[in-house]
Structures are given as C-alpha cells and as structure tokens.
Amino acid sequence: MKKNTALLLLLLVTTLSFAQKREKIKGSKVVTTSVKEVGEFDGIEADDNLEVYLTKGEKNEIKIEADDNLHDIIGMDLRDRTLRLYTSKESTIFKKLIVRVTYTNSLKNVIAKNEAAVYAIQEVMLDDITFTSMDFSKLYLNVNSKKFSLIANDKSKTELNLKAEDA
C-alpha cells in the first residue's frame, strides 16, 4: 500500500511539474511587420520577455516586428483600459521580436514583468506617469513629466533620464 501511494504521489508531482512548462517555438529568421489598431487605453502591461518600444502619437496603435511565424504567439488583451502584451509560447531562437506601442496623452502607467524590456527612447512627455518593473524586467526611459513615479521590485533593472517637478 505504501508503494502504491508513493508511486502515485511521484506520478502526480512529475505530471504537475511538466504541465507548468510552456511550449517552445523557434523563429524562422524572416522578419515581417504587422500593424494592429487597439482601443483606448491608459495603462500598458508588458509580459513574457517582450521588447516594447513606446512612441507618442495621435491614436493608439500596435506595430509588431517579428519573425513571420512568431506574430501568432504575441497576444494582447484590453481589459479595464489596460493593454496587456504577452506571448502564448516561449520563443527561443529568433531574429527579431519587438512590439512598438503608439500611445496618446491618456497613458498613466506602464508595468513590465517576467523579463520584459520597455524602451522609451523618444522622450515621454506626460503630466502624470507611473512605471513599475518586477521579475527581472528592464526599463530604459527618457521621461519629461510633471509627476513621475517609479516602482522597481525584485531584480529588475532601470536606466532613467528624468526631468520632473515631482518624482
């Protein structure tokens, strides 16, 4: 009876540990670009090892530059005025996997987690903005704002060029 219980417990543990791993996919090395329009959002959440570049514009838009077989694994949800960007599979070897987000003046917060990298090379000029990084994520920011907040957790990395009245 003890053998059966131990064997059943071992089988259950190995099944659960393998069920947690995401499926992997290799890039084709043929880079293509696609543009997607999204609704109004005031928050962005980048997840799962994505590179996200922020650009200010007249309307909200997403531009995906990636290997042609990786476009399908990039998912986006718009819930409670927060745009969530993530991948459905783990991409291993690829030439490019970049999401360029065009935002408007309504943007209030940006969250990066699970090794995501957010780049704001073009100066982010907003009245009130909050950036949050966690779980080995990276923020490379150039910000000019009246009110600025930065929340950095875990082993995240931040490079910041800031001009603000209240930080």
Is the pLDDT score of 4 beyond 70?
A: yes
Domains identified in the chain and CATH numbers: 24-166 (2.160.20.120)
48 neighbors 70 (Cβ within 8 angstroms): no
Is residue 159 very low, low, confident or very high in pLDDT (cuts 50, 70, 90)?
very high
> What percent of the chain shows pLDDT beyond 70?
89
Which residues lie below 8 Å from residue 132, measured CB to CB, with a gap of 6+? 109, 110, 111, 112, 150, 151, 152, 153
Residue 138 in tokens: 């990276």
Which residues lie below 8 Å from residue 145, measured CB to CB, with a gap of 6+? 124, 125, 126, 127, 128, 129, 162, 163, 164
In terms of Cα–Cα distance, which of 133, 131, 155 is closest to 143?
A: 131
Is the pLDDT score of 91 beyond 90?
A: no
Taking the CA of residue 19 as centre, how many other CA atoms within 13 Å lie in the half-sphere pointing to its CB?
A: 6
Question: Quick one: average pLDDT of 6-18?
Answer: 64
pLDDT digits (tens, 9 = 90+) for 40-66: 999 999 998 899 999 999 999 999 999
- Which position has the higher pLDDT, 1 or 128? 128
Q: What is the pTM of this model?
A: 0.85
What is the spatial distance between Cα 54 and Cα 28, in angstroms, rounded to a whole number? 26
> What is the residue-averaged pLDDT of the chain?
90
Question: Quick one: average pLDDT of 85-111?
Answer: 93
pLDDT at 71 (0 to 100)? 92
